[in-house]
């Protein structure tokens, strides 16, 4: 079934100043550069407490590995007559217009892959001013488990039809509402033992808690504790990007030609151009 599905859900408990779009992807695999979206479900929580849900099935333009189909239940036959992402990209972009984004493990996978698909489709989706809330990040700080366990713990329900994009999206939506209610004012320890701000019912604060270290969506570059952009992989991991580009200019060309996401290459190019202007 390739058509858009609509549903209305119960009113949320989130304190919103702009719409917050919860989304989940089912894909051909987990490689941001090579894999493609098969299904995307978006629940748009509106400021007035109402929400809209839309789900698209996508023809990825490539065979679906059987090991992936066994997880999410989507096979080549199921999507052969569905539109490609390029054909629905503008429609999805319009639905996401003006929204912050939320998901489960979304900062590490769903956001990077979605941005990559938009770039491949030639659709410019503005991301600079969007807040990103990763429900898994909050969950792992407080209760390190998976989505089904999170749903059971926070909502007291069993997650039926797990690995369906829509079921996972709706569960994530309910979990965040329960999290901000349960942990309001609770002091938190970070990954390195440092004390960080408690969870509050504010999307800007939740973004700061779950997404502020990100530079590119694939996580190849991050901000360090002093606001410097550093590499987060390979032989230069932990080094300032500007220092590496100055001392080893060929590293820039290697990354541009390498198997890195388009978004990573775009952000790296922006950093290099900014450094050249400052010289």
Q: Are residues 140 and 256 in the same domain?
A: no
Q: Is residue 214 part of a domain?
A: no
Same domain, 91 and 33: yes
Q: Which of 197, 231, 247 is the last residue of a domain?
A: 197
Mean pLDDT of the 7-21 span: 79
Same domain, 226 and 188: no
Distance CA 145, CA 118 (A): 31
Residues 189 and 65 in one domain: yes
- 93 found inside a domain: yes
What's the pLDDT at 187? 81
Which of 197, 232, 256 corresponds to the end of one domain? Answer: 197
Query: Does residue 56 sit in the same domain as residue 131?
Result: yes
What's the structural domain count of the chain?
2
pLDDT (0 to 100) of residue 198: 82
Q: Considering only 41-45, 115-119, 196-200, 267-271, which range has the smallest mean pLDDT?
A: 196-200
Q: Considering the domain boundaries, does residue 79 fall inside one?
A: yes
Residue 26 pLDDT exceeds 90: yes
**CB-based contact 41:55 (threshold 8 Å):** yes
pLDDT band at 274 (very low <50, low <70, confident <90, very high): confident
Helices 147-155 and 165-182: angle between axes, nearest 10 degrees: 50
**Any idea what the CATH number is for the domain that residue 105 is in?**
3.30.420.10
Top-confidence residue, 180 or 11:
180
Long-range CB contacts (within 8 A, 24+) of 197-202? 199/138, 201/13, 201/14, 201/15, 202/15
Higher pLDDT, 3 or 64: 64
Assess whether 170 and 256 both reside in one domain.
Answer: no
Q: Examine residue 244 and state whether it is found in any structural domain, yes or no.
A: yes
The string of pLDDT tens digits covering residues 141-186 is 887 678 999 999 999 999 988 889 999 999 999 999 999 999 998 8
Question: 157 and 19: one domain?
Answer: yes
Q: Do 123 and 164 share a domain, yes or no?
A: yes
Asked if residue 77 and residue 35 are part of one domain, the reply reads: yes
CB 239 within 8 A of CB 231: yes
**Same domain membership, residue 153 and residue 269:** no
Is 135 within 8 Å of 153 (Cβ atoms)? no
- CB-neighbour burial class of residue 3 (10 A; exposed 0-12, middle 13-18, buried 19+): exposed
Indicate the DSSP class of residue 236. G
Task: Give the three-class secondary structure for 87.
Answer: helix
Give CA separation, 159 vs 103, 149, 150, 154, in Å.
16, 8, 9, 12
Identify whether 74 is part of a domain. yes
| Buried/exposed 228-244: b ≥16 CB within 10 Å, e otherwise | ebbbbeeebeebebbeb
Same domain, 182 and 227: no
| Residue at 209 is within a domain | no
206 found inside a domain: no
Residue 186 shares a structural domain with residue 237 = no
Q: Has residue 216 been placed in a domain?
A: no
Element (H, E) at 166: helix 165-182
Distances in Å between the Cα of 130 and the Cα atoms of 96, 99, 100, 211 are 10, 7, 5, 11
Can you give the residue range of the structural domain that contains 169?
5-197
- Among 163, 197, 231, the domain-final residue is 197
């Amino acid at each position: 079934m390739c058509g858009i599905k609509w549903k209305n859900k119960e009113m949320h408990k989130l304190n919103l100043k702009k719409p917050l779009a919860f989304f989940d992807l089912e894909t051909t695999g987990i490689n941001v550069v090579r894999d493609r979206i098969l299904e995307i479900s978006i629940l748009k929580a509106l400021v007035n407490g109402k929400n809209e849900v839309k789900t698209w099935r996508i023809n990825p333009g490539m065979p679906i590995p059987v090991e992936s189909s066994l997880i999410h239940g989507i096979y080549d036959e199921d999507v052969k007559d569905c539109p490609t992402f390029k054909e629905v990209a503008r429609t999805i972009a319009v639905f996401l217009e003006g929204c912050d984004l939320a998901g489960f493990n979304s900062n590490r996978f769903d956001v990077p892959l979605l941005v990559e698909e938009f770039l491949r489709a030639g659709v410019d989706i503005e991301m600079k001013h969007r807040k990103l809330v990763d429900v898994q990040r909050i969950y792992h700080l407080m209760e390190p488990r998976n989505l089904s366990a999170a749903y059971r713990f926070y909502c007291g329900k069993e997650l039926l039809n797990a690995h369906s994009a829509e079921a996972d999206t709706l569960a994530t939506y309910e979990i965040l509402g329960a999290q901000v209610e349960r942990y309001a004012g609770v002091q938190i320890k970070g990954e390195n033992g440092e004390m960080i701000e408690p969870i509050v019912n504010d999307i800007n604060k939740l973004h700061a808690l779950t997404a502020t270290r990100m530079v590119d969506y694939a996580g190849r570059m991050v901000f360090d504790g002093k606001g410097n952009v550093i590499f987060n992989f390979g032989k230069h991991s932990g080094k300032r990007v500007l220092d590496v580009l100055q001392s080893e200019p060929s590293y820039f060309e290697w990354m541009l030609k390498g198997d890195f996401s388009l978004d990573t290459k775009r952000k790296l190019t922006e950093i290099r151009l900014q450094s050249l202007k400052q010289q």
